[in-house]
Homo-oligomer: A and B are copies of this chain.
Amino acid sequence: MAQLLQAAASVFCTTGYTAASTNAIAREAGVSPGTLYQFFPNKEAIAIELGDRLVHEMRETYGEALAPVEPGTSLEEAVGTAVDRFVDFGCRHPVFFALTHGPDIPGRIAEEHDALHATLLSRVEALLSSFAPDTPAADVARTAQVCLSTYKAGLELVLAHEGAERDAYVRELKHLLVRYLAPMVGEHAASRSVHPWIDTP
């Protein structure tokens, strides 16, 4: 079954969900199509189970990565940790993006993913609030959304490169986020090593 999920991950990665055939998955897993259907009622269920596991692991990853920071943690540190974890996760599970993007993925996964997104969102919001308690909730929510989107886009870029170049992109992604967030958290993080940012007046 782990075998099957791994095969599915591999096939989804290379062909996408829609174009992936259950026969191809079974073949990749080295079992017969019939066997596949003794573990999963249909193709969608495979993607859902896969998604569930990813989401679960992601939740754990972020549970730690986005946990409320201890007082005194700098923005750089917080962002750095989160990005590193995110990158690590993305490297270990390239399927995640095959199941995340694309309008042709099963509804259940979309829901699952939305739920994950919402969770992450609230964590990021909490984090942001701890850094900038006075910011209106709507702004925090929006900023969190932007952060998540940026995360994902940046991660794809990171994964598209290797070695030193990958590391360079990781640094850029951190800069991108830190610089974006600095003004918001600036006043409440005067102890940081970055100059306060003067936003559009």
Residues of A within 8 A of B (CB): 13-16, 18-19, 76, 98, 101-104, 142-143, 145-146, 149-150, 152-154, 156-157, 165, 168-169, 172-173, 175-176, 179-180, 182-183, 193-201
| A157 partner, pick from B14, B102, B145, beta carbons under 8 A | B145
Tallying the copies of this chain within the complex gives: 4
> A198: which of B98, B101, B104, B194 is its contact (CB, 8 Å)?
B194
Which residues from B are CB-within-8-Å of A150? 150, 153-154, 176
Q: Is the interface of A mostly helix, strand, loop or mixed?
A: helix
Task: Kindly state the separation between the CA atoms of A2 and B200 in the bound complex, as whole angstroms.
Answer: 43
Complex: chain B residue closest to A183, CB-CB: B179
A146-B172, A150-B176 given as contacts; is B101 within 8 A of A101 (CB)? yes
Contact of A168 among B101, B142, B165, B200 (CB under 8 A): B142
Distance in angstroms from A132 CB to nearest chain B CB is: 14
